[in-house]
Structure 1
Amino acid sequence: MSQVDQKKPLPDDVARQLCEQFDAYKKKYGLNFIAKPVIKNDQEDFSEWMCGFPGRNGTLWEGALLKLRVTFPSNYPVEPPAFIFDPPIPHPNVYPNGYVSLPILYPTNWKQRTTVSQLFKALDEIMAHPDRENPANAVAFFEFCERPEKYKERMRKAAKKFNFVQFAKSYNYG
């Protein structure tokens, strides 16, 4: 068994709370947001969610639907979840392995009462306005700071690559 398979499941009340929070976010912010718990051993695993995160209108990511994995530790909400773009995206605040550098998720900043909605709002903000204080991708950060036109061109290409059709194919929807 792998480490992931041996992980303790989330308590039922925490899993229920996450379902409610994901549903509330989707209702408030639109149909373009997709979130489903991962299926493992023919059961929903509420500690890992696959999401389709839409690029905000008016930004370089407009039109994109980014594949995002959200993993919750077994002691959530004591510890923060992790946000991982899969596949990784070329963004100043996303590590080459796809993990997102988001201050609200740092253990030193984490607050147990933080909601799914607050997490996704913070992600949306950092996608639209990269955080210069917390770079995670040296190439994207350099382009963002020193070669903004090249950065914009690269982000637009990436946004076109990560559209709904590609997202659906990656989940065998179409």
Structure 2
Amino acid sequence: MISDRKFFLKAVVIGDGGVGKTSLIVRHVDKKFDEEYKPTLGFDISLKTIPVEDAKAELLLWDIGGQAIFKEIRESYLEGSHCCFIVFDLTNKESFEHLKDWLTELKRFAGEIPFMIIGNKNDLKDKRKISKEEMEKKAKEIGAVYCFETSAKTGDGVDDAFKELTNASVEYFKNLKK
């Protein structure tokens, strides 16, 4: 049974432009998908309640524009984050190679917080450029809590990814208080 206890988590979603950050959030929060690409201008915020153990986590999802023009303002958006989803496109090798850059930026402005890498667009199997093994190796190498393959289009893996990092983040912060 879930109690009235709540955890409030600021979760940032970062990664190169066009990898599907907004689509993942919309799929998770609103259960829909829009085929048309609309770049995030600066940032957007969504709220999702996720059950964890005997409580609820209020996940404040910050969708942060990945284009280079937003680099200067990302600092203020990353500060105070409790967890992070670093997203790349499984069909775009360059977005995968930028994971370390995103992690460096995250650590610089948010410190050491739980994060996961998400390989999005796993529905485009014939265009895939990153193997599951490469993704798992990279996740281990950079210290990600988890790595997930998702498809914002079909919904595959999306809810599981958000739930896993939320649970890991709640545990992380509960252990810090001990």
Normalised to the residue count of structure 1, the TM-score between the two structures is 0.33
Work out which structure has the larger RCO, using CA pairs closer than 8 Å and 6 or more positions apart in sequence: 2
Normalised to the residue count of structure 2, the TM-score between the two structures is 0.33
Which structure shows the higher strand fraction? 2
